[in-house]
Amino acid sequence: MRVLHALWAGPAGVVWWVERSPGRRADGSALHPGALSVREVRRLAQGGSTAVREALAGAADTVQVLLPCAGTEPLPTPDLLRRLPRPRAGDAATGACSLAVVGVPVVRPGLPASVAALCALAALEEGADLGADLVAGAATRFLARFVRDVVALADAGRISPVLAGAWPDVRPVWFPTQDDDVRAWFDASAEALPPVLRAVVPGGGRARHGRPASEVLVEVVVDVLAAVVEERLRTAAEHGLPWREAVRRAGHPLLTSLAHGTPLQVPQRRLEPLRAQLGEWASSQRRRQLEVVLRLVEPDDDGGGDVPEPEGWLLDVGLRIDGEAPLSRSDLDGDAEALDALTDGLARAVRAHPPLRSLERVAGADLRLALGAEAVLDLVDRGAGRLARAGLVLLLPRSWARMEPSLRMHAESPARVDVLDRQFGMDRLVTWNWRVALGPHELSEQELDLLAESKSGLVRLRGEWVRLDPRTLAAVHRFVRNSRGGAATFSGLLGQLAGAEPPPAPVEDVRATGWLGELLAGEAEHRIEEVPAPSALAATLRPYQRRGLSWLAFMDRLGLGAVLADDMGLGKTVQVLALLLHERELHGAQRPGPTLLVCPMSLVGNWAREAARFAPSLRVVVHHGGGRARGEQVTALAEADLVVTTYGLLDKDLAALREVPWRRLVLDEAHHVKNSSTRQARAVRQVPAARRVALTGTPVENRLEELRGVLDAVAPGVLGSAAAFRQRFARPIERDGDAAVAARLRTVTRPFVLRRVKTDRSVIADLPEKVEMVVPVNLTREQAALYRATVAELLKKVDELTPMQRRGLVLRTLTRLKQICNHPAHFLSDGSPLLTRGRHRSGKLAAVEDVVESLLAEGDKALLFTQFAEFGHLLVPYLSDRFGVEVPFLHGGVARTRRDAMVARFQAEDGPPLMLLSLKAGGSGLNLTAASHVVHLDRWWNPAVENQATDRAFRIGQQRRVQVRKLVSIGTVEERIDATLTEKSELADLVLARETGAGEGWVTELDTAALRELLTLSPEAVGE
């Protein structure tokens, strides 16, 4: 495969070159190794199309082009890269990419030949075979379309002279007459200009990539119009109009300059009056707007219903004057100017869309042409754009519509389900079938068969003329026929929606009856019958919590796994406790069986306290610590209502815990099982439980595969294997942002996930405001010196390492840079003081001191989060001594009883005003609403994790506005990654309407140049 490239090289016009697969040049020259020599190009042209032969028939030359290179080797262009085999794992990487000037062998056919070749290429479809195993590159296609448009403007008479340059080198040039359409076209073209068209380096000049796109396009327009006008006048001279002689005799300096391309020979004082006259003349061309209008007239409706293959279309050619209703030829008798415009317009229409030439004229005084169905489709699909660019208007019938087929699933299920039916779950039978819709019309089987068999792209459907793609409709027809519905299990139904092969059309809607309709509509929370709050619940449920209880009970009744994905602080704990109490009231004397709740060790005490507070009638057992039940004693857990244990103990005691007949398994902080290959996740899947519930405020933290891991723990198999999920969903959504695939994933996961966020006022209206701010801080000179030395050490070694060693070094360096941004003493670990002669060694510590001082003066409390326990141990004595207050520090080494006491002490009205927490140990499961300030001392670089920590204060029970400060060292990697992660917050929005970010792993994959740019210290980083 070879790619034909066109580059604009100034007044000389277009230069052309051909790219092949990368390799060494046979002639040993230093030119682009992927470019064919001019001799090879000329040989190649002999087998190409007419347009290719015209383009490649010029003189040999070499141009200097600024191109992306790996080292000294230019990289293949994207056009060629898409056609090369994908590199295999383990292939050598290309290394750092930079721009370099590369010599490229080209041919110069001259401007007129180039314009003709480009216009011919513009008429071809994208990807069309040009012969000789050639395809047109992206820059070639852009230039072809742009030049074609310029020529069309000239042919439509929409050009006028303008003065360019400064006296004494002022030259009149042809330029499109400015109106709204032309301006919009030019602006859109400037935005779409491929960078390579600005990359030719003029002789001794600068590379074009540094020039504005509009400047380049103005040059193209001026040169092309000069060539077009010259060609049109030359053709006129051949027909007996000696225009050059006429110009010479006229003697007007403007005409002479236009004809010969020479500077305008007029005194400087006459320039402005002449410029004004040209402007008035251009305006006068627009005063009486004469638009040629082609109106497509549909066949007469014979009352016979839908006509799959229509004939009898007509094309009326008329004139619209100053925007009024179009007039036919007979209406224009006596208006010579209008008749001339109509005749000229029809000639332009035929030139713009040549198939019009073969249409038969209908007898009569007016201009009316007869069309068949194929001609109609060609006119609308390809001709409309061509006509518009030629200044002509094509009017379609009012009943005309272009519609794409979509799929709808219809399913039915029983209206009610027996509360005690334990055999329901994913295996209950439902009935379903696919339906096809065109726009708002759902097709009957007979209509679908008729349309598919007609193989026509233009049909009359229920009073409308519908333009459709017969190939897509045929594919949809086959899909529906091969996927005939009927009886299936609920899991089989979901398998249809999440199938290995995506449907040939988007799944627009899923309509179902009974419980299935409530699930698949994604509105089960609002549509199901509300469950009353249990009388034994010692709490008042908020409206959204009552809906959450009803949804959990509904899913429990159906025997389906459930993911309660409420934001942190919305009360997932109390909703689960309410479910257990509701279940006891519902079953009466017939005990429902025990619930096993698995959570991180830090939350065991919290669950025990919350159960004792809100559901004191429940029999709760904490399966934790040295005194926990072992061996045969474990069977006694079946007598409890709620058994609380940890993920680590579940794996350790799995064999014994599997002997208990669990009614339900609840996974709190379920992101602990997001990786389905871990021991904890495997142990969870082996627990025999009739019902499964996952609780998480962050169903997606970094990657969509985490959602699959959580869902697989409560509804195994719904999203298939990890490999299948990556192929079907994760890659298309994360890599390509495929909205259709994201919609399929939402449809499949919607039945199992209930997601509410605190920022939604329809969920919770009385939670106070949360104000988040990034606080920029400077480095001290000591910090800056350490920072620069650490980056230099990394860059010195990074290119000499294996990929694995490289990743490790980059991650270690990131950690060191964070430590330096915190404090030199944190990085050095030398026991040195935090202050030197009373001056701060860290800009960040100085900022913390200012923040703490102001909030203590207001009588407020604050949570200070750091990801480094060692930094916390440095801060505790300093802050305690500086402000004369107790500063408790909650980190991973704090035992559970001491941790609980620490939380209770802080929450007390007379408790300490500050609490320091490590992000991992204190980032989830704690209720610390006594604080109205949250300070992130260093960044975890994952918004989901930071939000969990913030939610220790911003949760139900908070009565005051919460202020969240994120300290960021400006000019450092902290600031750059903070900006980058802001741009990376859209993944979970596609699937769960929840923003998230990514961890640090992606940084390790950057090349050396990108790492240098990311890590290098900016001048503004250091304070005074």
Q: Note the pLDDT tens digit of each residue in 914-957.
A: 999 988 776 666 788 888 898 999 887 677 677 777 778 777 66
**CA–CA dist 762, 547 (Å, integer):** 12
Q: Which residue has the tokens 């082996």?
A: 686
Which pLDDT value is given to residue 621? 92
As a whole number of angstroms, the distance between CA 441 and CA 508 comes to 12
Options 1.20.1540, 3.30.2130, 3.40.50, 1.10.3470; which CATH number does 290-398 get?
A: 3.30.2130
Per-residue pLDDT, averaged over 828-832, amounts to 89
Q: Of the candidates 515, 489, 519, 528, which has an alpha carbon nearest to the alpha carbon of residue 418?
A: 515
Q: In sequence order, what are the residues at sequence separation of 6 or more whose Cβ sits closer than 8 angstroms to the Cβ of residue 136?
A: 3, 4, 121, 124, 126, 128, 130, 144
In this prediction, residue 303 has a pLDDT band, given cuts at 50, 70 and 90, of: very low
The string of pLDDT tens digits covering residues 52-80 is: 777 787 788 888 888 888 777 788 877 77
Residue with more model confidence, 184 or 564:
564
Percent of the chain with pLDDT over 70: 79
Instruction: Sketch the domain layout of the chain as residue ranges.
Output: 2-86+93-238, 290-398, 405-520, 531-715, 770-1021
Q: Average pLDDT in the 673-690 region?
A: 89
What was the pLDDT predicted at 206?
46
Check residue 824 and give its pLDDT.
93
CA 380/CA 296 separation, integer angstroms = 9
Distance CA 107, CA 105 (A): 7
CATH superfamily of 770-1021: P-loop containing nucleotide triphosphate hydrolases (3.40.50.300)
What's the pLDDT at 895?
Answer: 83
Distance between CA atoms of 574 and 729, rounded to whole angstroms? 34
The H or E element spanning position 290 is strand 290-297
* Closest listed residue to residue 900, CA positions, set 887, 914, 888, 886: 888
* Whole-number pLDDT of residue 596: 95
Nearest to 141 by CA among 40, 21, 51: 51
The pLDDT value recorded for residue 986 is: 46
Average pLDDT, the chain: 78
Phi-psi domain of 10 (left: phi exceeds 0; alpha: psi -120 through 50; beta: other): left
Alpha-carbon gap, residue 947 to 494, rounded angstroms: 32
CATH classification code of 531-715: 3.40.50.10810
Q: Which pLDDT score is estimated for 208?
A: 44
Burial class (CB in 10 A: 0-12, 13-18, 19+), 484: exposed
Q: How do residues 775-824 score in pLDDT, each as one tens digit?
A: 888 899 899 999 999 999 888 888 888 888 888 888 899 899 999 999 99
**pLDDT (average), residues 446-459:** 78
Contact 387, 349 (CB under 8 A): yes
pLDDT band, residue 997 (cuts 50/70/90):
very low
Quickly state the pLDDT bin for 983 (edges 50, 70, 90).
very low
Fill in the DSSP letter of residue 728: I
pLDDT digits (tens, 9 = 90+) for 633-656: 888 888 899 999 999 899 898 988
Instruction: Answer yes or no: are the C-beta atoms of 409 and 436 closer than 8 Å.
Output: no
Peptide bond into 308 cis (omega under 30): no
CA distance 554 to 419: 9
Q: Do domains 531-715 and 770-1021 have the same CATH topology?
A: yes
pLDDT band for position 94 (50/70/90)? very low
| pLDDT exceeds cutoff 80 at 869 | yes
Q: Does residue 984 register a pLDDT over 50?
A: no
The predicted model gives 575-597 an average pLDDT of 89
